[in-house]
Amino acid sequence: MLGLTVSHYRITGKLGTGGMGVVYDAEDLKLPRKVALKFLPDGLADDQDAVRRFAREASTIALLSHPNICTIYDVDTHEGRQFIAMERVPGVTLKTIMAREDLDLSRLLDIGRQITAALGAAHATGVVHRDIKPGNVMVGDDGHVKVLDFGLARQFRMPGGDPAGLEGSTIPGRPLGTANYMAPERILQMPLDPRSDLFSLGVILYEMATGRLPFAGASPSDTVTNVLDRDPEALTTLAPDRPAALEHVVMRLLAKRAADRYQSAEHLADALGRIQVPPSTLATRLLRRLRPAR
C-alpha cells in the first residue's frame, strides 16, 4: 500500500502488524501532520466479529481525551475496508525498551505513573482497556507515554449507571487478550471490572523491575494455571536492588482477588508517588539526559 492515497491520507510506510490490525504511517493531505492508519488484517476483513470489535475500538477511543491516550482523528472506509486514522505517536513500544535496557527506578516509576493516569481517565469514562501490555504502550524520546490499542476495550457499569449496552466477549468460552497479562477474573470471563487493568499494570511493573514475567509458564495452559493458582516469586528476590516499597505495590496489584488490589487508579497513583527514589538514581538519570547524543 506504499504510496497509496486513502481518503485524504497518503501512506508512506508500514508501522506494524498485530492480531487486531495492520498500522501504516501516513501523511494527512488536508492538515500538516503525520497520522497512523489502522486497518483490519486481510484475513479478518470478512469476520463480522472482528469488524464489530474494530468499529467499537474507534467509538471507545472517541470517548477518551487524555495526554497519555492516543487520539483518534477519523474513521472511514477504503474499498470496503474500514480504517481508523489516529495520532502518529513517535517513539518505540515499552516492549522494545525493555528488550534493549534495564530501567532504573526513576524511569520505571515515571512510566508506571503515566500508564496509571491513562487508565484512571479511561475508567472515569466507564471504559476498561482489557489488553494492557508493553506492546500497547508507546514511549516517546522525551519519555512521554501513550496507551494504544483499545480493540478489546469495553464499557463497564459505572456506580448507579445503566447496565444496558454492556458487552462481554463476543466469542463464548474464549477470553481475548494475552494470558501473561490477564487478571484471573478476565481468564474466567467474570463481569467487567477496571481493577483487571490494574492487575495487568502490576505485571508490567514486575516485568520492568525484574526482567521476567511473574506468571510465565512453559505453555499457555501453564501460564493460565499460574495466574489463577500460584503466587509469583518475590520481586526483591529477583531484583534485590529494588525497594521493598515497590515490591509491596506490585504484589498488591497482582492479588488474585480484585478486592485485595488497589481499588482505583487514583489509589495506585498515590502509592507509586510515595515510593522514594534514591538521590544517586536521580543524578544518574539527569546525567543521561544531559549527555550529548552520539
Catalytic residues: 141
State which amino acid sits at residue 49: D
Q: Which residues contact 263 (CB under 8 A, 6 or more apart)?
A: 195
- Note whether 240 and 80 are within 8 A (CB): no
43: which 3 cell numbers? 484475513
Q: Which residue has 477511543 as its cell numbers?
A: 61
46: which 3 cell numbers? 470478512
Sign for the pseudo-dihedral over CA of 274, 277, 279, 285: negative
Q: For residue 289, what is the enclosing H or E element?
A: helix 279-290
> End-to-end distance of the chain based on CA atoms, in angstroms?
34
User: Can you say whether residue 179 is alpha, beta or left, with left for phi > 0 and alpha for psi between -120 and 50 degrees?
Assistant: alpha
Q: In angstroms, rounded to a whole number, what is the distance separating the alpha carbons of residues 139 and 109?
A: 13
Q: In angstroms, rounded to a whole number, what is the distance separating the alpha carbons of residues 112 and 92?
A: 16
Q: In angstroms, rounded to a whole number, what is the distance separating the alpha carbons of residues 185 and 189?
A: 6
